[in-house]
Homo-oligomer: A and B are copies of this chain.
Amino acid sequence: MRNTELLPATVAGSCCAPPMRKTLGAKDAESMAAALKALSDPTRLRLLSIVAAAAGQEACVCDLTGPVGLSQPTVSHHLKILMDAGYLTRTKRGTWAYYALVPGALDRVSQLLATV
């Protein structure tokens, strides 16, 4: 073991040494990983993309099963994951369920990534 002092957050008075930043805590890493895991599937990314591209930024399930080429239960499953992760909202009108983007949700994750 090399035993360098990695963990102290700040080193006073060093001018040329690169700054030692605070590292990600276990709890923060857990929630951030959960947010990214919901996005780490090609089908879910495409679903988000289709919803984002739709007029009014909302789409019903019947408009999504075709483009992604998967069964309706599978698409509903992915939509639920995206909803639980806070990327989509669901609005039921009549027989149809309309999924819409949560404004700023993707941007928030995008900015989170820059803080790692």
Binding site for B on A (CB under 8 A): 1-2, 4, 6-7, 13-24, 26, 29-30, 32-34, 36-37, 39-46, 48-50, 52-57, 59-60, 62-63, 65-67, 96, 98, 106-107, 109-111, 113-114, 116
What copy number does this chain have within its complex? 2
Interface majority SS (helix, strand, loop, mixed), chain A: helix
- Give me the 4 closest cross-chain CB pairs, A-B, nearest first: A24-B49, A37-B40, A17-B55, A21-B53
Query: When chains A and B are docked, how far (Å) is the Cα of A33 from the Cα of B20?
Result: 31
Q: Would you call A63 and B6 a contact (CB within 8 A)?
A: yes
Q: Would you call A113 and B116 a contact (CB within 8 A)?
A: no
Given A6-B53, A20-B55, A36-B45, 7 other A-B residues pairs in contact with their CB atoms under 8 A:
A4-B63, A23-B49, A24-B46, A34-B40, A37-B41, A39-B113, A113-B113
8 Å CB contact of A45 from B62, B107, B114, B116:
B116
Query: When chains A and B are docked, how far (Å) is the Cα of A48 from the Cα of B33?
Result: 12
With both beta carbons as reference points, the residue of chain B lying nearest to A69 in the complex is identified as: B26
Q: What are 26 of the A-B contact pairs (CB < 8 Å)?
A: A2-B62, A2-B96, A6-B54, A14-B56, A15-B60, A15-B63, A15-B96, A17-B55, A18-B55, A20-B55, A21-B53, A22-B53, A23-B49, A23-B53, A23-B67, A24-B50, A29-B42, A29-B43, A29-B45, A30-B42, A33-B41, A33-B45, A36-B36, A36-B45, A49-B116, A52-B116
